[in-house]
Amino acid sequence: MEGRVITLVCLAFVFDFGLSMEFPGLSEPMPMDMDGDAARCFIPKVELKALKPGINTHRSSSSRSQSSTFQQMKFEVWYDESVTNSSISDFIMNITRETVDLISRQLQVKEESQDIIFDRQCQTGSYVNNGTVVNCTCADNVTTCGTATLPEHHLLPCSTCKRYENGTEYDCVPEPGGPAERGVSDVHYVLYVTSVPCPNGVIGFANVCYLDPRLKRPNTGFINICPGAETFLEPEDIQQLVQHEIYHAIGILPGLFALFRDENGDPLTPLGDDGFPTELSSEGFYQWSDRVARTQTLDWDIRGGQIERNVTIMVTPNLVREAREYYGCDTIEGVELEDDYGRFPSGSALSHFEARLMPTESMGPGFAKGRKFSRFTLAFLEDTGWYKANYDLADPFTWGRDLGCGFVNKSCKWWMDTQRNRGLSLSPYCEKPRELLCGVEGRPAFCSNIKLDEPLPEQYQYFDSLPGFNETELASVGGWRMFQDHCPVIFPRYRLQTRDYRRQTCDKDINECDSDPCNNGATCSDIITGYFCTCTAEYEGRHCDKSKTICSTSDQCAKNEVCKDGLCSCGHGRIRTEEGCQIPRRFDMWFQITEVNGSLAIYPGTFKSIDEIIRGELEYAIFHRLSRWEIFVDSVFSVEIKSFNGSLGVGIEIVLDAGSTPDDVMIYDLMTDDVYFAAQDLSSGYTSYTVDVNSIVVQDLDECDEMEYSACSVYSTCNNTIGSYQCSCLSGFGDQGDPTDGQGTVCIDIDECSNSSLNECSLFARCTNTVGGYNCVCLSGYVDSTGSSGRLCADINECISQPCFNGGTCRNLKDRFTCECSPGYEGQNCEIDQNECISAELNDCSPVAACTNEPGTFSCACPPEYTDISPTGAGPGRVCENGSMTFIVIISMVVGVMFVLFVALLLLSQAKKTKF
């Protein structure tokens, strides 16, 4: 890879020093970034090489550790003559030495230290046709790393070599003279420090020159401290500048993103055979994979609407972990990088954190007083895969902490509108131009909002209205720093010259109640970063601008409201928000105060008579701490003063907004952390309360035990959670709640019998609905032999009990049976003897016979005057014959025959006469 040249990102550490405007209260002019001559990025041109293993780089001697584990980072620092000849050389060297020592303790390297020697840069030498190459002579040689000239003893000696036709050198003979010992021993990184003139507005820059051949870790680079920086930067600021540039030189460069590796040392971006990525981006960098950085599209609120905005985010694991924990948002996908406003194609873009989100983080693009090298910077370096970071050595950093997903993924307009609607401070943003303020990290500051000379691009217009500006002017109103996307931030300054002592020291709160923000006779209570309103009985809402409805019953009130004292109010422990009556989240806190202004706190003693004063001061002091975070958006109330082992005990109920972060672990951490809230000194105005931090107890309020705070339905179970509670409708009840009401707040009995899919009754059972359930009873003819209460109903075989009498045959049918009776019997069970004699259709007796009913049959008997002539087998009495009637019949038959014969003879005689 020797000699490969790539374009590296600008590493300029920009100090905004462009056009200025007078600003009352500031000792220096207010810089602006809007003009074309303002601070631009200086791009140092470098040739990035991988050192030759075995020639330029070799492992340390056997006297050093050969372990493959992490080693504390070792530097070799060389100061160019531009530093050694400077009037402040000792100052630069001392600060650099201290900074290198700090970074050596912050970082461990995954490789052993090395001995390094550098190739010479040939300016005049040339190859000749006879196979011999003559390298440039020592007198002609100038080898550089950026703005630094490498010393002779860091370089290979000048040599005359022979070269085969394939280019391989051999028989290299060093030229005589030069240092006896060459190279740098036992180091991980060679840092060259220069102080050469810089472009306007730039106070420092850096770059990397060489990479380790195995893991492609930068092992050689330079930083440049621009002459004159010390005239307007204090020593601590110069130290931050040096540290910033070294971090660039060792890895925080977009030109190196494609070389980053995972925790196992495997490349995050596919590499070619030469160990480098095969593709270049449009910016001239090696193209990295989506495992390193990618584009994210944000829903971006602007003046009059919303647009989509594409940003670049680092998605490496340690940065994502830090961002989610820091901002209190588990859905953060990555850490946004500076986009440089899109004005300068080779500016600070991608090599710094986005200044809108981290204006005081030291790896941001512009200088600001009180910058911090936070855990984000160390996570960035650890995500290169070359280092292991000691996070205990990170600076404390609070700008934007715990402000949630919207603060990170939305525009500053969204944040300001949301806070304004809640009646809360816009911090860390602001809107009143040039207003003197206290910064979020406790330094004197001012509001960077101004009217610029020309309209801002549409995506940076954030105000729909603003007192003092007309509709046309609003397009030009915004923060003066382009790096911060022209968001109006509360920006820290060096010095504030003002007679307002509270603004110089930031130890007194500004009373926002002076602007009378509460309506309809409400009482305004000031807190350290805002205010809250205590409404009269007839009104509700954060500004007491919502009139309660007159009512006689709760049916006349809106959802989640109850009729109380003739007015509709939020019920069941709910609070009024813009979305209606919502369930807040509540915590109880308890701690002990041991001293007040250095004197022992004794209760009751002298304190009992001034409980209300103490209560008010403590409420104020607690707001001072808690109201810095979005999650603590409602007032602390019910501050109670009690005796605690003879000292002062404080009990507090804390109410959080229903929409606050669900990360309850973070809430506990905030309220018990000795840095962010539970510091030993809890001050209020001129009173200092000493807190026994070990006595702090934060516990959840169990709303399920105090039903006035629970909105659960009577047909639900209440399950207490940290900060809130959950309702679950009982089995057999449908949940009619919505996201506003919460689940389990409206539970309606389900008629399971209305649809067979809602119950488990057998198809042969009857379903009966009950409150919260149902019953199943098997139909007649079916039985639940399994004891499943009508869930499994089987047909009963009634024939087993032989229900048919008198020889009847039983036929089992579905859910019933039938009897086929023997002749002579009838009835459901063939239990009735049939009286065949009652109808001639039921017996075959002779009409004159006597019919006698008998069990299951009948009998026939001819009268005495009749003769029984029934056919054989037909049974008696079927045919009965009378004797006198027989004689008459015979005489009649004889007469009949004779008459027929007479007629026949007569007809025959007549026929003969006619013939003759």
Q: Please check if 352 is assigned to a binding site.
A: yes
257 band by pLDDT with thresholds 50, 70 and 90: very high
Over residues 648-665, the pLDDT tens digits come to 788 777 776 555 544 555
Using one digit for the tens of pLDDT, what is the confidence trace for 626-648?
655 545 544 445 667 777 666 77
Annotated binding residue at 154? no
Is 338 one of the catalytic residues? no
- Indicate if the alpha-carbon torsion angle 416, 421, 422, 425 is positive or negative: positive
Asked if residues 461 and 476 have their Cβ atoms less than 8 Å apart, the reply is no
Q: For residue 271, which amino acid is it?
A: L
Tens of pLDDT, residues 301-316: 999 999 999 999 999 9
Scanning 609-683, the segments in alpha helix (DSSP H) are: 611-626, 664-672
> Shortest CA distance to 134 belongs to which of 143, 142, 125?
125
Full set of structural domains in the chain with CATH: 119-143+150-182 (no CATH), 293-374+390-505 (3.90.132.10), 511-554 (2.10.25.10), 579-701 (3.30.70.960), 703-749 (2.10.25.10), 756-795 (2.10.25), 799-833 (2.10.25.10), 840-882 (2.10.25.10)
110 and 70 Cβ atoms separated by less than 8 Å: yes
Per-residue confidence (pLDDT) for residue 420, from 0 to 100: 84
Residue 784 φ/ψ, nearest 5 degrees: -95, 90
Highest mean pLDDT among 156-170, 449-463, 735-749: 449-463
In the chain, % of residues over pLDDT 90: 28
Rg (CA), the chain: 51
* Sequence-ordered alpha helix ranges (H) in 395-538: 404-409, 412-422, 501-505
Distances (CA, A) of 176 to 4, 158, 173, 750: 30, 8, 9, 101
Out of 230, 245, 619, 836, which one is annotated catalytic? 245
The conformational region for residue 88 under phi > 0 = left, psi -120 to 50 = alpha, else beta, is alpha
Indicate yes or no: pTM above 0.75.
Answer: no
d(CA 600, CA 791): 74
- Give the model's pLDDT for residue 169: 67
What are 625's two structure tokens? Answer: 């701490």
What is the pLDDT, as a whole number, of residue 378?
97
Q: Rounded CA gap, 189 and 384, in Å?
A: 15
609 pLDDT band (50/70/90 cuts)?
very low
Q: CB atoms < 10 A from the CB of 24, how many? A: 9
Q: 647: which strand partners?
A: 644
> How open is the CA angle 629-630-636, to the nearest 5 degrees?
75
**Is 321 in a helix, a strand, or coil?**
helix
| Mean pLDDT calculated for residue range 228-238 | 79
State the amino acid at position 528 in one-letter form: I
Q: Consult the annotation and say whether 248 binds a ligand.
A: yes
Q: Check whether 16 has a pLDDT greater than 50.
A: no
